[in-house]
Structures are given as C-alpha cells and as structure tokens.
Amino acid sequence: MRVRINYTSALSPCGTTPKGEVEDYSINVENWINMEPVSGTVASGDSVEVSSTIDGSKVAAGEYSYNIVINSNDPDDPEYTIGYEFLVIPMLVEASAEPAAVCPGGSSQLNAVAVGGSGEYTYTWTSDPEGFSSNEQNPVFENIMQTTTFIVEVYDGENQVIGETGVEVYPEPEVNLGEDASICQGEEHTFFAGGDYASYLWSTGSEEAQITVSESSDYWLEVSNEFGCMNSDTVSLYVNELPQVNLGPDTTICEDESLVLDAGNPDAVYYWSTGATTETITVDTNNFDFGFYEFWVEVTDMNSCMNSDTVVVELKNCSFGMDEIFSQTQIDIYPNPSEGIFTLNIQSPSSQSIRISILNASGQEIYKSGKIAVDGNYKKEIRLQDQQSGVFMLMIEKDGNYKMEKIVLR
C-alpha cells in the first residue's frame, strides 16, 4: 500500500482501483498547524515541551477548535488528548514603544504594525492616563512624566482592531542641598548631597558627595540614579566681612594723661582683655601702674563674625625727666622681633650702675638681674625661648629711674 501525505484542508480519498490492485490513499493534514517536535523520547519522571504554531493566513476568519493526540508506549496512558480553541480575526495590529522605559520628561517612539484586512489603514492613538492623542501611524510622545499605557485603534474601512503598549517612567532622584548658608570671612562651609546616588557633579567640578567652599557664590549639584535619571539643586553661600577693629598704634602716655581705646562697630558685642564689655575703655594711671600693657578686644557683630585688635600702651612717669637721665646712654636690642634670643647692647660715656627687668604683657616680671656695672660698653644675651610669643617690656633701672623698651617674641 502506498500512502501519500498531502497538506491540504479536508480529508478525502484520492481515487479507487479494481480489487487486488495497488490502492492509493491520501491523508490530508491541516497545513495551518505545525507541531514541533512530532516525536521523541522522555525519561521517566522528566518532561518535554511541545510547541504548536498556527498560521492564520491559511484559514478564514472564525472560531476554531482542534485536538492534539499524543501517543506513547506507556501501558497506563497510551494516548493523551489536548483540546485547543482559537479565534482567527481578519486583521491584527502589534503596538510597541522604543524605549519602553524613560526618565521623567523623556520621550518614546510609538510604533503600530497592522496586517490583514484591506491594507488601507487609519490609526488613532490615545493614552491612559489621558493627555496624548495622534492620528499618525508612528508618533513620538514627548515629556512623559508618569508611567503610561498607549492604545492604538486601527481601521481598514471594515474591520477595527486595538493594540496596546506601555512606557514605564523611572523614579527621579531627589536631591536637596538644604537652605542657603552664610559664613564669616576666613571660614569654610561644607555642602552635602544628602543621598546615595550613582554619580555626582558639582559646579566646582567635584564628583564627590560633598564640597567644602569659602567664597560667596551659587553652587549647584547634578546627581543621577541607577537608571541614569538626573536631578539638580542649587544653594547659595554668603561670606560676611569681619568687623573692622582698629585700636590705633602702640603709644605712650604720661601720669597726667588718659587714653580712650575705641573698638568701634556700634551695637556689636565686645570683650576686652580687662574683662570690660563696653565699646570703649579708658587707660590712665588711676587704673594702671607705670609700665607697658597689652590691651586687646574681641568684637562680634550681628552676623556672629568676630575680629580683634591689640595695642601696647606705655604708662610713663614723665615727672622724673628720664629722657635727660638716659640722654647720654645708647640702648640697642636686636634682633627685634626675635625667635627667642635677643642681644642687649648699652653704651655709656661714663661709669654707671643699672638693673634689668623683663615684664610680660600682663605686667608679670619674668626676669630680673642684679646690679650691673656699665663702663663704656655692655653687651648681654637675653633668652626667652621658654616664653610664649607676644609683646614683652625690657625695663632698665638707673638711680631709681626707668627706661622701657618693647621687644616682640615671635
């Protein structure tokens, strides 16, 4: 017997022959169904996947049902039938979006591919949520701010089909640099990104999570997340100038004189080395003994910025006529300022007896010599390395009269 397998549509014999001769039969298999694979071996307890493909172009529109019969050598279940039902429609549309996910404000190219029908199509696009519509086949949707489903209706004059596609909107990174900041001249301020991001870019060019700055300016930061979405924030830094404080040059006053030291900057907060908290203080011999004094003041303005100044004032007993007493005596001290070692050189045309003392800025005596005989020339090395830097007073005593020299230790 010869058997021919023809892929047609309906089962029917091909013809007849007289008895005893070769008989030809044809088995018609539906050519719009394809099974893959059609045979195979499955191990016990295992499974195999069989795919079924339907070619809708080879059948008319309508509802269909068919059975897949699987035969095996399993004695308990030699035949297994799977039933299928499907619908063939005259026209089909496939909708897509590229890209299918964007950052907020991004755009996507929408595409509609229709098959079947008359071939003359009209397209109507809408969206959910509402806000987008188009009659183009492949429109572009811009400035997408939320995840959106796009619906396209295709009409060929007789049939209408609907397709859908979606565009996901990735979350945007949230960045907040905080409030604007202010600092005082000479200070620094650090701005923090305030989150964990994939990348950072500051207006300064830094790519770190924070920057430290000291100049008045607007500073912006751009960040991106793991999806490549970006966001930015801007913050301002204001640098306030320090209050201007000037107590004037170092000076000398006599016992019958007074000196007013003025820190300026009305309505500021003051703190003097004397403990006073007023804008001005008065220096005279009613409040201080003769000698050298270092006065300083700290001034804090309404911006909480602080500045200071220092002045050295000598309170001198002018009634003793010390200038005449020491007029023929040359006193030199060098180097001044010094890192800690000074040389005192005294030249006198006649023999005389002196004593040397050194006072710190608080008036405390830190060095005192015995009686020194000067006959023509006297030189002495003074060592102050164990003292903190500042202003010191060298006091030379002769016959109960004093001469002061300021020395500066760096």
Give the CATH number of the domain where residue 130 resides: 2.60.40.10
One domain, residues 96 and 155 = yes
Range in 77-91, 181-195, 242-256, 283-297 with the lowest mean pLDDT: 77-91
CB-based contacts of 131, cutoff 8 Å, min separation 6: none
Q: Higher-confidence residue: 26 or 405?
A: 405
> What stretches of 134-241 adopt beta strand conformation (E)?
140-144, 148-155, 160-169, 181-184, 189-192, 199-202, 210-213, 217-224, 230-240
Spatial separation of the C-alpha atoms in residues 279 and 42, rounded to whole Å: 102
> Does residue 330 lie within any of the structural domains?
yes
Enter the DSSP assignment of 375: E
pLDDT at position 14 is 43
3-state secondary structure 124-138: EEEEECCCCCECCCC
**pLDDT score for 367:** 85
Enter the DSSP assignment of 399: T
Q: In sequence order, what DSSP letters do the residues of 232-282 get, joined into one string?
A: EEEEEEEEEPPPP----S-EEEETT-EEEEE---TT-EEEETTS--SSEEE
CA distances (Å), origin 391, targets 204, 312, 363: 43, 8, 11
Q: Which of 51, 71, 88 is the last residue of a domain?
A: 88
Same domain, 228 and 282: no
User: What pLDDT does residue 61 have?
Assistant: 73
| Number of structural domains found in the chain | 5
Residue 246 belongs to some domain of the structure: no
User: Tell me, what's the pLDDT at 354?
Assistant: 83
Given 88, 123, 138, the domain boundary residue is 88
Contact predicate 282/260, CB 8 Å: yes
User: Any idea which of 12-16, 108-112, 167-171 has the lowest mean pLDDT?
Assistant: 12-16
* Predicted confidence band of residue 324 (pLDDT cuts 50, 70, 90): low
**219 and 263 in a common domain:** no
Q: Is the pLDDT of residue 29 over 70?
A: no
2 Cβ neighbours under 8 A, 6+ residues apart: 22, 23, 24, 25
Contacts of residue 252, defined as CB under 8 A and 6 or more positions apart, other chains included, come to 313, 314, 315, 316
Query: Do 77 and 10 fall into the same domain?
Result: yes
Average pLDDT of the segment spanning 43-58: 76
Rounded to an integer, what distance in angstroms lies between the CA atom of residue 15 and that of residue 253? 144
* 328 and 310 in a common domain: no
Strand partners, 212: 190
pLDDT confidence of 319, banded at 50, 70, 90?
A: low
Between CA 202 and CA 216 the distance in angstroms is 15
DSSP state letter for 157: S
Residue with structure tokens 């299928």?
84
The answer to whether the bond into 104 is cis (omega within 30° of 0) is no
Does residue 176 sit within a domain? Answer: no
Q: Which of these, 377, 380, 381, 355, lies nearest to 368 by C-alpha position?
A: 355
Residue 67 — very low, low, confident or very high, per pLDDT cuts 50/70/90?
Answer: confident
How large a percentage of the chain has pLDDT more than 70? Answer: 89
Q: Are residues 136 and 82 in the same domain?
A: no
pTM more than 0.95:
no
Q: Which residue's entry shows tokens 């890209």?
A: 99
Question: Does residue 175 sit within a domain?
Answer: no
What's the one-letter identity of residue 161? V
Q: What are phi and psi of 185, to 5 degrees?
A: -55, 130
Of 314, 306, 297, the residue nearest 262 (C-alpha): 297
On whether both 234 and 266 belong to a single domain, the answer is no
Strands 217-224 and 251-254: unpaired
Residue located via tokens 């207006």: 203
Higher pLDDT: 408 or 126? It is 126
Q: Is residue 405 in a domain?
A: yes
Residue 245 falls within a domain, yes or no?
no
Domain span including residue 24: 2-88
**Two tokens, residue 165:** 């596609």
Predicted confidence (pLDDT) per residue in 235-276, tens digit? 999 999 999 999 999 998 988 899 999 999 999 999 999 999
Instruction: Check whether residue 67 and residue 95 sit in a common domain.
Output: no
- The per-residue pLDDT of the chain, averaged, comes to 85
Tell me which of 268, 285, 316 is where a domain ends.
316
Check whether residue 364 and residue 395 sit in a common domain.
yes
CATH of the domain at 353: 2.60.40.2550
Residue-level pLDDT at 4? 43
Q: Which two three-digit tokens encode residue 323?
A: 């200038």
Residue 369 in any domain: the answer is: yes
Least confident of 61-70, 250-259, 338-347: 61-70
Residues 6+ apart with CB under 8 A from 128: 148, 149, 151
Q: Cα–Cα distances in Å, from 325 out to 320, 348, 372?
A: 9, 12, 17
Phi and psi for 86 in degrees, rounded to 5? Answer: -150, 160
Residues 6+ apart with CB under 8 A from 243: 264, 265, 268, 299, 300, 301, 305, 306, 307
Residue 16 lies in a domain: yes
**pLDDT range class, residue 394, cuts 50, 70, 90:** confident
Cα–Cα distance for residue pair 333/380, rounded to 1 Å: 9
pLDDT reading at 8 higher than 70: no
Name the band, by pLDDT with cuts 50, 70 and 90, for residue 327: low
- Between the alpha carbon of residue 95 and those of residues 6, 153, 164, the distances in Å are 37, 10, 6
